[in-house]
Structure 1
Amino acid sequence: MASPALHINKPNYSSTRIVSPLKVSIDTSAAVEIIETIYFDNSAAEESNTTRLIGTLLGTCSDDGNVTIKNAYIVPHKEEDGELIFEESHHFSTFQLYKRSNPELQVVGWFSTIDKLDMYTGLLHEFYSKFSPSNPQILLTLKYRNENNEIITPILKTYISGPVGLPASSYLSHSLGLDKTGAFAFVGIENEIIQSKSESTSLKYINKAVNNENLLTSITSNSELQQLETELKNISNLIQILSEYCSKVANGEIKGDEKVGQVLLSALKFKLSDNEINDLKLKLDTHINDTLLIEYLSSCIQQQLELSSKLTNFILPEDALK
């Protein structure tokens, strides 16, 4: 018996200039800007499920089709009585301001603060696709409320689209009088939030303030050796958790995840050579020796200053003038 389900694959574009994205990467700064838009929603609680804010996504597209979202900004709009009012002038003027500071940026899509696809979604997507025909546009949705209208951890989803049915510009569509405005099929696409090592380290230490009653934390109080010790303890804890997970999977207590298995397999195949291990040990020993030397020199300088202050007290004023 044939399945009644409708299966939609990732759209393939006929134009050689358009490459369907393989993955969408979101910079942490852009993710914060998108999540921050929910605080601009001043609608009443009972209307929060039907209202939304939309905006433009700026970023870059690589030759292999991957899209990186680097900035985002809100575009004012209204949805009243089945009509959509979109302020195009604000969109273009703001884009030109971003373009002056970073010429590499281009419009890569748009975002919405609700995760539902409605009649306006196709219209908005058609607008962004019309002015960026060389690149497929990304739709990013932000879900921050559950079914009970309670605030939850924001969930970011990305979609790629393809036209459904006959093109709007085809002769047959015009002859039949078909209105093809906003006719798109949206398919989910993988995305990830990327961050630099400095951002990851800073956020990790700032997050310690959550566990304190005064919501304060000290970053500069930890020396490099203490930070290294903390990181090694975290790695040891992660290895312990991973070991327990593998044991449960091997014993049949839980079902293993294929993605976790692939990552583990690739990690186990990686092995440092003897030269790399010796080089790592040498760099670590050199770093430790440098740190100890700096601490020793600072201690000597402190002792010299204390000794100088004590000797100064024993010199009489008339002797100091000689």
Structure 2
Amino acid sequence: MAPGEKTVLQFGGSTSLNVKVHPLVIFNICDCYVRRPDQAERVIGTLLGYLLPDGTVDVRNSYAVPHNEYSDQVALDIEYHHNMLTSHQKVNPKEVIVGWYSTGFGVTGGSALIHEFYSREVANPVHLTVDTTFRNGEATIKAFVSVSLSLGDQPLAAQFQEIPAELRMSEAERVGYELLKSTVADKIPSDLEGMESTLERLLALIDETYKYVDDVVESRVAPDNKIGRFLAEAVSSLPKLSPSAFDKLVNDSLQDQLLLVYLSSITRTQLSLAEKLNTAAQILCAMEAVSVYKYIRWLRLVSIAIEVEDYNVVLLLRTIGPCACIVALHAKL
């Protein structure tokens, strides 16, 4: 460095990368977090996808990698990681490693060690974090890359710099996501509630069909031959039953269901009774074993009393019997 020049702390240039994450990746991460071992605080895994020419990292898939953490030390199962990568690329050979993920809020102390390992797998890997604890009321997703920190010309260390990250959904994924979101409920409905909801939906569809047919007949709506054929096929597929026959069919089905419920209740009662009888049998066997032990002990005491010619003790033993003599004679002999 020339005389008079100042030493300046420099950061690496800001990266132009941005991350697009597909919903499948988030579902995989959440599923792995739910299935994690009891002692594990977080899950770690590999991100797979593509690096597009415009600097976009398209993250399409992921898999978890077993690991152990001790304080700030992290040990990854590298062999498992390579085996999973080989198996995955047999199915999707174009997808490559683009980074790694971990659950939690932001970067932790051991993240630098894991990032260093993935830096040997791919140049400039992306670190994705997913807050599965919903600290802010939602699963916050953040992406980071490693940026070098230097003093003059001397590299000192590396730090994580956050880059833009957002969800990317194809049309098929969007339809599936909207369907899953629409089926979210606070509680699972009972069988009766589910049947009631289904019948209400069926009645609404029938009313809508009636309205369409009336509009076509009154020339308020132009007829559609495809819809007409579809309605004709639907009506012809219905069995022709009188109201009394239909009621009998429903009642018979209801009776069958009630019979199944009754048989299930009897089965549960029988299993519970069998369990209690088994427990009682085990207790009786144990008591019988104790009784045999007491009888043998009684005979032993009688033989000892005869050997010492203490006939008063022999008479006492015969009087009180084997079950009550043990405590009384331990102090005397």
Contact 1:159 1:188 in 2 (8 A): yes
What residue in structure 2 maps to residue 201 of structure 1? 175
Provide the residue aligned with 1:71 in structure 2.
Answer: 61
Equivalent residue for 1:153, pick from 126, 135, 138: 138
Over 3 Å counting, the alpha-carbon distance change for 1:41 and 1:8 in structure 2 is farther
Going from structure 1 to structure 2, the CA distance change for 1:302 and 1:65 (only over 3 Å counts) comes to closer
Instruction: Indicate whether 1:59 and 2:49 are aligned.
Output: yes
Bigger relative contact order, structure 1 or 2, given CA contacts below 8 A and separation 6+? 1
Aligned to 2:248: none
CA offsets per residue over residues 251-275 of structure 1, 9 Å max, x none?
Answer: xxxxxxxxxxxxxxxxxxxxxxxxx
For residues 30 and 236 of structure 2, the distance between their equivalents in structure 1, rounded to whole angstroms, comes to 54
Contact 2:134 2:140 in 1 (8 A): no
Aligned to 2:131: 143
Shift of 1:212: 7.8
Q: Report the secondary structure of 2:138's partner residue.
A: strand
Determine the C-alpha separation between the residues in 2 that align with 1:102 and 1:40: 25
Equivalences for 1:1-322 in 2 at 5 Å? 11-12=13-14, 20-43=15-38, 51-80=41-70, 82-133=72-123, 136-145=124-133, 152-165=137-150, 183-211=157-185, 214=188, 292-300=224-232
**Contact 1:164 / 1:185 at 8 angstroms: preserved in 2?**
yes
2:110 is paired with a residue of what secondary structure?
helix
**2:279 maps to which residue?**
none
The letter for the 2-side match of 1:143 is: D
Structure with the higher fraction of residues in helix conformation: 2
| Alignment partners' CA distance in 2, 1:99 and 1:67 | 18
Aligned pair in 2 of structure 1 residues 117, 214: CA closer, same or farther (>3 Å)? Answer: closer
Distance 2:137 2:184 in 1: 17
Instruction: After TM superposition, give the deviation of residue 305 of structure 1 in Å.
Output: 8.6
Does the 8 A contact of 1:31 with 1:193 survive in 2? no
Letter aligned with residue 159 of structure 2: A
Contact 1:9–1:187 at 8 Å: present in 2 too? no
**Aligned-pair Cα RMSD in Å:** 3.8
Unaligned runs of 5+ in 2: 1-8, 209-220, 239-333
User: Alpha carbons of 1:80 and 1:303: their partners in 2 closer, same or farther (altered >3 Å)?
Assistant: closer
* TM-score, structure 1 normalization: 0.54
SS in 2 for 1:154: coil
Check the 8 A contact 1:24/1:191 in 2, yes or no. Answer: yes
- SS where residue 144 of structure 1 aligns? coil
Distance 2:95 2:149 in 1: 29
Q: Deviations over 1:217-252 (max 9, x none)?
A: 87x9798xx8xxxxxxxxxxxxxxxxxxxxxxxxxx
Specify whether residues 302 and 125 from structure 1 end up closer, same or farther in structure 2 by C-alpha distance, changes over 3 A only.
closer
SS in 2 for 1:207: helix
Aligned-pair CA distance for 1:39 = 0.7
TM-superposed CA distance for 1:164, in Å, is 2.2
Displacement after TM superposition at 1:303 (Å) = 7.6
9 and 289 in structure 1: CA distance in 2 versus 1, 3 angstrom threshold: farther
Q: Which has the larger radius of gyration?
A: 2
Please tell me whether the aligned partners of residues 144 and 152 of structure 1 are also in contact (alpha carbons under 8 angstroms).
no
Tell me, in whole angstroms, the C-alpha distance in 1 between the residues paired with 2:187 and 2:74.
Answer: 47
Structure 1 unaligned residues grouped into runs of 5+? 1-6, 13-19, 174-179, 227-287, 307-322
C-alpha contact (below 8 Å) 1:158/1:190 kept by paired residues: yes
Counterpart residue identity of residue 58, structure 1: L
Cα 1:84/1:303, change in 2 over 3 Å: closer
* Alignment check: 8 A CA contact 2:10 2:149 kept: no
Whether contact under 8 Å (1:33, 1:72) holds in the other structure is yes
- Provide the C-alpha distance between the structure 2 equivalents of 1:76 and 1:166, rounded to a whole number of angstroms: 37
Q: Which amino acid aligns with 1:139?
A: H
Query: What residue is the counterpart of 2:214 in the other structure?
Result: none
Secondary structure of the corresponding residue to residue 210 of structure 1: coil
How many residue pairs align between the two structures? Answer: 209
What residue identity is the alignment partner of 1:297? R
